[in-house]
Amino acid sequence: MAKKLISREEAIIETMPFSREFVSWCKAYPDFAKALKIIYPEKFLTLSAVATSFCSYSFADEVIGVDAYAYRMKRPIFKQDFVINKGNLNKEFILYTRFTSTSKIIRDISEFYKTYGRDNNHLNTHHLTFEQLPNKVKPAGIRAIDLAKRILKYGLLKDDPSRTGRIYKEIVKAKKGDWYAKEKL
């Protein structure tokens, strides 16, 4: 059997501090994964940060904020995709983003605010300035800004599936080690 090459998108998702169930969900639903901003480094840089919260009136659903730096915009900003972990069970996820889709698991961000944004929950958190980032995320924001400057000046390497596969294997190996731990923001 031939080796299956790992895509850049799979490697990016694997490097994120997502649950194993969420990574598996992205593999099972490729359209869901393709709607995440973080897998497009030619436009967005991941902050490798995930913020989780719950709404006061819908406390069963976990809200997962996935931060990215939109560096190609005229005025670069930080953006967030919102993922709902239904019932906080890690069995069903819904992505809210500015992405046109007829899928029940990918919805427009305006629907997120109608459902989870009442009482000013998550108000003004889809587009952020550096100052609005949580303090624990600001160092990652600085790294993203610096990296974006380098990309804009020198360019971005073309995707090399064999190199990506090697990096992916190292990431998976490292994530199984003792050093890897998630910290709630």
Report the C-alpha gap between 146 and 134 in whole angstroms. Answer: 18
Q: What is the domain range of residue 59?
A: 8-149
Counting the structural domains of the chain, the total is 1
Whether 120 shows a pLDDT value over 60: the answer reads no
Measuring CA to CA, which residue among 5, 87, 80, 70 is closest to residue 36? 80
51 has pLDDT over 90: no
Is 12 part of any domain?
yes
In a domain, 121, yes or no: yes
pTM: 0.80
Quick one: angle between helices 20-28 and 8-15, nearest 10?
160
Averaged confidence pLDDT in the chain: 84
58 compared with 8, residue with greater pLDDT? 8
> Can you give the pLDDT at residue 184?
44
Give the up-direction half-sphere exposure of residue 171: CA atoms within 13 A in the CB hemisphere.
16
170 in a structural domain: no
Cα 60 to Cα 25, 57, 81, 84, 123, distances in angstroms: 19, 9, 19, 10, 19
